[in-house]
Amino acid sequence: MKSLIKILSVIIVISTSATSCVSNYVASNNDTYKYPTTNEMLVYHPKTVKLYSTVSVSDENYSTTLRKDAALLENSNIYAESRFSTRAYNLLSEARTYLGTPYKYGGTTRRGIDCSSFVQHVFAALNISLPRTSIEQSHRGTFVSKHNLKKGDLIFFAHTPKSRISHVGIVESVSPTGEIFFIHASSSKGVTISSLDTAYWSAKFRTGKRILDSDIDIQKIHEEAQNDTSLAKASV
């Protein structure tokens, strides 16, 4: 009788461990569960915010397969924000590699570069094509007001309110107090990080543009989620 109780206790512990791990597990390809599960539950998938998926039992090798069937994207806006943040991180990582690069009017290399060429090269690293000049770049993307600027947004400047765009930078960070810092090729300092809140740059600021999320198609995201019925495996 005692032996039977011990066996049942082990089974309960294994089942509980597998269930608790799987319910918080992020599914990925080419992985396998160590233990089988005995019920259905919600499983998260990295492509989306939250996918309703079915976990089914497989008798072979104590593995469990995950079928991403009838996937439901609960909040497309959150997914888009997550994608934007990832792209902004990659963009700024590339931009920071230029810090200290000398400024050169008309320059297009790391030996010397101007503001618009700097922006063009950084976005090209993410396979995003932008025009060569700052005024042409200001015609791309979607308008963003100053108080809504985020990392990765472009900001444009002009010498006077009536003069044309003559300088461009990339928002590098926004402090908890709302101070905006941007990375740009300065004619006096080369590629550097400056504050938009200084009197000099604040007076010359003209507009902000968002490039990174202008190609995110929310409807397409929904369609991809609904059509995604491939099998994936996961492990604990």
Q: Measured between alpha carbons, how far is 183 from 206 in angstroms, rounded to an integer?
A: 16
Catalytic residue among 21, 45, 115, 147: 115
In the residue annotation, 184 being an active-site residue is answered as yes
Find the helix or strand (DSSP H, E) in which 3 lies: helix 2-23
Comparing CA positions, the residue from 12, 8, 35 lying closest to residue 22 is: 35
Q: Compute the residue count for the chain.
A: 236
Q: What secondary structure letter does DSSP report for 103?
A: B
Q: CB-based contacts of 32: which residues, under 8 Å, 6+ apart?
A: 61, 63, 64, 233, 234, 235
- Of the candidates 45, 121, 147, 167, the residue annotated as catalytic is 167
Residue 36, SS3?
A: coil
CA atoms of 159 and 143, how far apart (whole Å):
20
Residue with tokens 């700052």: 134
Examine the residue annotation and report whether 115 is marked as an active-site residue of this protein: yes
List the catalytic residue out of 45, 121, 184, 222: 184
Residue whose tokens read 């259905």: 40
Alpha-carbon distance of 76 to 232, in angstroms, equals 22
147 carries an active-site annotation: no
* Residues recognised as catalytic: 115, 167, 184
